[in-house]
Amino acid sequence: MTDGERILLGHGSGGKLYRDLVKDVFVKAFANPVLERLDDAAALTPRGRIAFTTDSHVVQPLRFTGGDIGRLSVAGTVNDLATAAARPLALAAAFIIEEGFPLADLRDLCASAAATAREAGVPIVTGDTKVVERGAADGLFITTTGVGEIVVAHELGAAAVRAGDAVILSGSIGDHAVAILAARGQFAFSADVRSDCAPLWGLVEAAVAGARESGGAARSGGAEALHFLRDPTRGGLTTVLAELAEESGLGIEIEEAAIPVSPAVRSVCDLLGYDPLTLANEGKMVLVVAPEAADAVVAAVRGTQYGRDARRIGFITTAHPGRVALRTPFGTRRVLDMPVGELLPRIC
C-alpha cells in the first residue's frame, strides 16, 4: 500500500485485498515467526500445546435466521481454535456498545452467546465493556479471545500437506452469507436458508479420533494423517483452497459436482450473480488428510451434529503447483482465484 491509499470495504473481504493488508501492514509492523504463519490460531509454547486466537464481530443485522452476533462471536472463536486442533479452554468477551442500545436486546444476545459457549463446552471467564456515543458503533460490536489445548502432537498447516492427500468439506456452503443477505432485505427475494453458524470443536475432535483409529491412518502415524484444517469464512471455500495451494506450493483438484450447495443458496446465487464458492460460512470446515485415512475421517465427521453432509471433494497434486483447478460437470476445468473485492460486507 502507498501513502495515498485508503482502507476499503474490500480490505475486510478475506480475499486478496485482505491478504495484502495483513502482509503489508500488520505482519511488517508486528513481525515475528508465530504471526508470520498467518494461522487462524497461534500455537504457543511450551511445545506448541496452547492455541491462542482473537476475533472481532461486527455483523449487520445483529440477528439473522439461524443465529445472531452473540452466537457468532462464540462460534467464530471456537472454530478458529479448532483449526489448530485445539480444545477450547476459556474465552474472553469484549463489548463495544452504542449509547441508546436496548438493554433487553443486550441481555438476549448475551444469553445466546452463553448458550453457544455451553454447547461448545467452554466458559467465558473475563471480558471488557465500553460504551460509545450514538452513531459510533452501529449498535453492538463484540470481540472474543480464546485459549485452547492442542490435542495432536504434530503441526498442522500447509507445510504438512502432501501430494495425494484428500480434501474434505464438512457440509454445504454459502448458507451464512445468504441468510445475512436475506435478513438485510436489500433484494426482493425470499429464501428458506438458515445460517450454518455453529461451534465446530466436536466435529474436529471426531476427525482427530477418526484419523487416529483408522487402520490406514496408523501407517501414517495415527492422528498425523490429519494435515490441515481451516474454516471457510470470509472469501469462502475458494479463498481457503487458493491460500492452501499458494502456501503449500502444490496444486489442488476439486470436483464441482462434489461440493454440496443447497437449492435455495444456488437459486439466490443464480438470481444475483454470486458464486457460492466465494460466499462466507460460519459452521463448515475444510480438512486435508492422508488418502488412506479419508474414508474414516469422512465417516467420523458425518457422525457429528454439524458434519452430516461431509464428503471428499478433491485431492492434492503436484500438477499446476500453486493453483486450484475446478473440474466442472461439463468436463471442463477452471482456475479458482482468490476474490479481490468485498462481495458482502459485515457478514461476521
Q: Quick: pLDDT tens for 145-181.
A: 999 999 999 999 999 999 999 999 999 999 999 999 9
Once rounded to an integer, what is the mean pLDDT over residues 11-15? 73
Q: Average pLDDT over the chain, rounded to whole? A: 92
Predicted pLDDT of residue 216? 47
Contact 279, 177 (CB under 8 A): yes
Helix, strand, or coil here: 150? strand
Identify the CATH class of 39-150: alpha beta
Q: Quick: pLDDT tens for 262-317.
A: 999 999 999 999 999 999 999 999 999 999 999 999 999 999 999 999 999 999 99
Instruction: Please determine, for residue 99, whether its predicted confidence score (pLDDT) is greater than 90.
Output: yes
Instruction: Please determine, for residue 228, whether its predicted confidence score (pLDDT) is greater than 70.
Output: yes
Cα(159)–Cα(137) distance, integer angstroms: 40
Q: Quick: pLDDT tens for 15-56.
A: 788 888 888 888 888 888 888 888 877 887 666 699 999 999
Q: Is the pLDDT higher at 212 or at 343?
A: 212
Identify the CATH class of 158-335: alpha beta
Grid cell 487402520 — which residue?
A: 215
Domains 39-150 and 158-335 agree in fold:
no
Contact 37, 52 (CB under 8 A): no
Domain boundaries along the sequence of the chain: 39-150, 158-335
Least Cα distance to 82 among 55, 63, 103 occurs for 55
Q: Is the pLDDT higher at 124 or at 213?
A: 124
Q: Beta-carbon neighbour count of residue 110 at 10 Å? A: 15
